[in-house]
Amino acid sequence: MGFLVSLLGGPIIGVLGSAISAGVGYFERKQKIEEKQLDYAQETKLQEMNIAARSVEMESEAAIAHTAAVSKSLEASYKHDASYGPVGETAATVLRFVRPALTVFLLLLVTVIYFTLPEAKVVGVDGVATTVGEMVILKIMFLSEVALTWWFVDRRKSNK
């Protein structure tokens, strides 16, 4: 019996050791695959973050370029307006009354249209029915707000 155990025990232990080594090797390969997947996922995440950061950077650069272009355009407009030379007293007086006159005209126009326009219905692009009076009032109110705001803001800037 000792001879048989010795004869068969060695190969059985060898086969078991080989099977255990193969099982351990399988788990090691599985861990390496998972590690590579984590590395690839991290690399993908870093690439996505770089793309997002570059996108924000490009938007900032575009905003800076737009601001510079607007600034140059405004400067050129001021230089162009200044190139006219001195304005006569009559022309300056007329120019001073353009905005107030426009504002008063728009406010009167709002009042006249509001009280005299029929209640005809118009369907807008969004499918909502509004009256012609409402549409006209909204447009004229917008223009009146622009005129008033522009006038008072411009006055405030010129008084400083």
- pTM of model > 0.75: no
Give per-residue pLDDT as tens, 4-58.
656 666 667 677 777 888 888 889 999 999 999 999 999 999 999 999 999 999 9
pLDDT of residue 158: 53
Q: Taking Cα atoms as reference points, which of 95, 96, 116, 102 lies closest to residue 145?
A: 102
Q: Any bridge partners for residue 131, and if so which?
A: 121
Query: Do 20 and 62 lie in a common domain?
Result: yes
Q: Do residues 42 and 110 share a domain?
A: no
70 with 118, same domain: the answer is no
By residue range, what is the domain housing residue 91?
A: 87-160
Q: What's the pLDDT at 121?
A: 67
- Whether 140 and 91 map to the same domain: the answer is yes
pLDDT digits (tens, 9 = 90+) for 75-102: 887 787 677 677 778 887 887 888 788 8
144 or 64: which carries more pLDDT confidence? 64
Confidence of residue 155 (pLDDT cuts 50, 70, 90): low
The residue out of 85, 101, 134 marking a domain boundary is 85
Contacts of 132 (CB under 8 A, 6+ apart): 117, 118, 119, 120, 121, 122
Is 133 a residue whose pLDDT tops 90?
no
Q: How many domains does the chain have?
A: 2
* Contact (Cβ atoms closer than 8 angstroms) between residue 102 and residue 109: no
Do residues 23 and 40 both lie within one domain? yes
What are the structure tokens assigned to 19, written together?
Answer: 């099977």
- Please say if the pLDDT value at position 136 is more than 90: no
| Spatial distance between the Cα atoms of 147 and 155, rounded to a whole number of angstroms | 12
Quote the pLDDT of residue 10.
64
Contact 103, 151 (CB under 8 A): yes
